[in-house]
Amino acid sequence: MQNFTLSLSNLICATIGHHYNITNKITNHINEYKCSSCGKEVTEDILGNIEDLTLKQKNINKSVALFFQKKMHRKYFNAHEKPVL
C-alpha cells in the first residue's frame, strides 16, 4: 500500500481542478503554466495538449523560445529597414 499525504492545496486541486497561471510565454501558441494552489507545472505541446513540465521539456521550451525570439527580431528589423537609394 502506498503511503502518501494529501495537503489542503492538493485536495482542492483534486476536487475542483487546478487554477493555472501563465509563468513563461514560449511562443504565440506555447506557454508554461503553474497551478496557484498546488504548484504543479505544465506546458503545452505542439498540438496544444497539456503535459507535465519535465526537465527535458523545460530545455526544449528554452531552445524554442530562443529560436522564436531571434526569428521575431529578424522579422521586425527586416521589415523596418530603409531602402538603399
Q: Give pLDDT tens digits for 33-51.
A: 999 988 999 999 888 899 9
In a domain, 57, yes or no: yes
Spatial separation of the C-alpha atoms in residues 83 and 24, rounded to whole Å: 37
**How many H helices and E strands in the chain?**
2, 4
Spatial separation of the C-alpha atoms in residues 67 and 61, rounded to whole Å: 10
What pTM, to 2 d.p., does this model score?
Answer: 0.73
Is residue 24 pLDDT above 80, yes or no?
yes
In a domain, 3, yes or no: no
Tell me which residue range forms the domain holding 34.
22-79
Q: Work out the number of other CB atoms within 10 angstroms of the CB of residue 82.
A: 5
Burial class (CB in 10 A: 0-12, 13-18, 19+), 43: buried
In a domain, 45, yes or no: yes
Q: Show the cell assigned to 79.
A: 521589415
Is residue 20 pLDDT above 90, yes or no?
yes
